[in-house]
Amino acid sequence: MDKSTIKNLMNEYKRPFYIYDEEVIDEQIQKLKDNFPEFEFLYSIKTNPNENIVKFIAKNGIGSDAASKNEVLKSVKANIPKEKIIYSSAGKTKSDIEDTYDKCIITADSYHELEIINQVAKEHGEIFRVGLRINPNYSMDSDSAVSSKFGVDEESLLEHIDFINSLKNIKICGIHVHLRSQVLDYEVLYNYYKDIFDLAVFCIDEMGFDMDYINFGGGLGIAYSDRNEELKIDFLGQKCRELVKQFKKKLNCRLIIESGRFIICRAGTYVTYVIDKKSSRSINYLIVANGYNGFHKPSLAELVVSYSQLPRENLKATEPIFTAYDANQVDILTEANEKELVTVCGNLCTAADLLGKNLELPKAEIGDIVTVSNAGSYGFTLSPILFSSHEIPYEIYLDSEKNVIINKY
């Protein structure tokens, strides 16, 4: 993000903000399209539901992974066509189904949901084509199955075949599998995709499912810091093309990948400013506006590190709340060459309000601008913006023509 643009926006609005760069979003979309020409992509609305982002996604032919009724409605508002909106979440109610069945493809998350969907279809005198989320009998890294609140266990399918066939007002036309986010090893993703192809064949041959589509879920990771190697997306794309050739005759259907944070994470920057600076018993503090209640993830990362007995490098991610201890880099927009070791805090009445501890940063003065990277995904919507009744950060969308579109709260 251009520093002068950020400085000009802060001078104009004088409050913290998120800024999203359309050019970066477009670059990430093109990477997906170039490397996976046989696949369709869904944008996970929950990562960032900003309406300007969703409209741009729709304009580029990307579908919607909707995790709630309201995300379905946001997708419709952005003119995403029904067949490209896939509604996948646990715990859908009858009301959710009634309000969305004609606007999207619904993926049932349980046998009970199949029953509800069948009931709604019967009441409308229709036969709905729906998907089914399956919890496979393997994990991302091994052949061991794991328990999950999502989907139906693969080994339970044959036990329920008579039940499924008794539901006369629905037809299962697709499957959905999702095991993990933020995978950087292309071979792990390739083996995962291959296992899902095999599962789809089983669902056709043994369960008698129609197969309009296979939703492979998410998993495409990004390297948040220099510690991590980027996902070799070109290698993964080549191996996926070989997979498609292998299974195409048996599975001539839509192949769908959820993009997760891949499209939007790096396109976002969180911007705040220094309110105060002080020293306490040899520790230098920078106090900034809207720390934890502006962008929550750095504070949560510091909490995880402080309570864990493990080395920071070995901490297990719990997405999307905690990714890694160094997932978000803090910087000061200044021309100063001198460095200092500082702890960057927000202005909330809690010691947990931290953007980073013991950071070596350019020496800052009161009023200097502070930026935090990788803020495009799971930032504004997951942060406790109402805590302490401070002003709420703006969201600013910078389109490819450098026009500024601002959401004020």
Cα gap 115→79, rounded to integer Å? 30
Cβ contact 6:332 at 8 Å: no
Reported pTM? 0.94
For residue 33, is it within any domain?
A: no
Backbone angles phi, psi at 48, to 5 degrees: -170, 105
CA dist., res. 117 & res. 296, Å (int): 37
Query: What is the total residue count of the chain?
Result: 409
Final residue in a domain of this structure, among 214, 239, 258: 258
Three-state DSSP at 67 gives: coil
**Could you tell me the maximum CA-CA distance found in the chain, to the nearest angstrom?**
73
Note whether 229 and 204 are same-domain residues.
Answer: yes
What is the chain's alpha carbon radius of gyration, rounded to the nearest angstrom? 23
Q: Are both 161 and 68 inside the same structural domain?
A: yes
Q: In this structure, is residue 25 part of a structural domain?
A: no
Task: Please report, for the domain that includes residue 391, its CATH number.
Answer: 2.40.37.10
- Residue 147, H or E segment: none
**Cβ neighbours of 30 (radius 10 Å):** 11
Q: Considering 258, 278, 305, which residue would you say is the last residue of a domain?
A: 258
CA 285/CA 275 separation, integer angstroms = 11
Within a domain: residue 137?
A: yes
For every residue of 74-103, which 3-state class applies, written as one string? HHHHCCCCHHHEEEECCCCCHHHHHHHCCC
Of 12, 8, 15, the residue nearest 393 (C-alpha): 15
150 lies in the same domain as 243: yes
- Cα 228 from chain centroid? 19
Q: Residue 11: is it exposed, middle or buried by C-beta count within 10 angstroms (0-12/13-18/19+)?
A: exposed
Q: Which domain holds residue 346?
A: 3-17+266-407
CB atoms within 10 A of CB 161: 12
Decide if 304 contacts 315 (C-beta within 8 A).
yes
Report how far apart the first and last C-alpha atoms of the chain are (Å, whole number).
23
Q: Residue 216 and residue 210: Cα distance in Å, rounded?
A: 17
Say whether 163 sits in a helix, a strand or coil.
helix
Give residue 346's pLDDT. Answer: 97
Q: Which two tokens stand for residue 180?
A: 């993990």
Q: Among 209, 236, 258, where does a domain finish?
A: 258
CA dihedral sign of residues 175, 179, 183, 185: negative
pLDDT at residue number 139 = 86
Encoded amino acid at 68, one letter: S
How many whole angstroms separate alpha carbon 3 and alpha carbon 369? 10
58 domain-assigned: no
Helix, strand, coil share (%) of the chain residues, nearest 5: 35, 25, 40
CA distance 255 to 251: 9
Query: What pLDDT score does 10 carry?
Result: 97
Assess whether 312 and 398 both reside in one domain: yes
- Evaluate whether residue 351 is within a structural domain: yes
Same domain, 111 and 69: yes
Question: How many domains would you assign to the chain?
Answer: 2
Residues 202 and 242 in one domain: yes
Alpha helices in 277-385 (DSSP H): 297-307
Both 243 and 297 in one domain: the answer is no
Q: Is 213 in the same domain as 302?
A: no
| 150 part of a folded domain | yes
Instruction: Concatenate the DSSP letters of all residues of 238-304 into one string.
Output: HHHHHHHHHHTTT--SEEEEE-TTTTTGGGEEEEEEEEEEEEETTEEEEEESSSTTT--HHHHHHHH
CA distance 183 to 223: 9
Residue 140's pLDDT is 85
- The CATH number covering residue 247 comes to 3.20.20.10
Q: Which residue has the tokens 């944008």?
A: 43
Same domain, 238 and 286: no
Same-domain pairing of 183 and 233: yes
pLDDT average per 10 residues of sequence, the chain (409 residues): 92 97 98 97 98 97 98 98 97 98 98 98 98 94 89 98 98 96 95 96 96 96 93 97 94 96 97 97 97 96 93 90 94 94 97 96 97 97 95 97 92
Backbone angles phi, psi at 299, to 5 degrees: -65, -40
CA distance 22 to 52: 9
Please tell me whether residues 154 and 216 are part of one structural domain. yes
Q: How many angstroms separate the CA atoms of 237 and 376, rounded? A: 24
Is there a contact between 49 and 381 (Cβ–Cβ < 8 Å)? yes
Alpha-carbon distance of 320 to 310, in angstroms, equals 20
Inside any domain, residue 36: no
User: Do 150 and 297 reside in the same domain of the chain?
Assistant: no
In a domain, residue 24? The reply is: no
